[in-house]
Amino acid sequence: MENLLDRITLDVNQCNGKPTIRHKRITVNTILEYLSAGESYEEILENYPTLEKKDIDACIAWAAKLMNRNYIIEYA
């Protein structure tokens, strides 16, 4: 079974080091913004024809993994 997170790539020389999908110049953040705006998978795939449904699933999995961490907020 393929690990969805393997579809997320990090390269300091691409997209300012932001996580991208399979070394494409499409950031995870871009896809998450589309989803949060209510766009469907079909609409996203229409706008980005080189993506696959599993790429969008990987973006969601990436976000979920980040939210599983502990964060400390310092107030000034």
Q: What whole-number distance in Å separates Cα of residue 12 and Cα of residue 18?
A: 8
Confirm whether 72 is domain-assigned.
Answer: no
Predicted local confidence at residue 2, as pLDDT = 67
**18: domain range?**
4-67
Extended beta strands in the chain, E state: 8-9, 20-21
The model carries a pTM of: 0.86
In this prediction, residue 13 carries a pLDDT of: 93
Amino acid present at 17: G
Does residue 33 lie within any of the structural domains? yes
Domain count, the chain: 1
- The CATH number of residue 8's host domain is 1.10.10.10
- Residues 25-75 pLDDT 10s: 999 999 999 999 999 999 999 999 999 999 999 999 999 999 988 888 899
- Do the domain assignments include residue 52? yes
Confidence of residue 1 (pLDDT cuts 50, 70, 90): very low
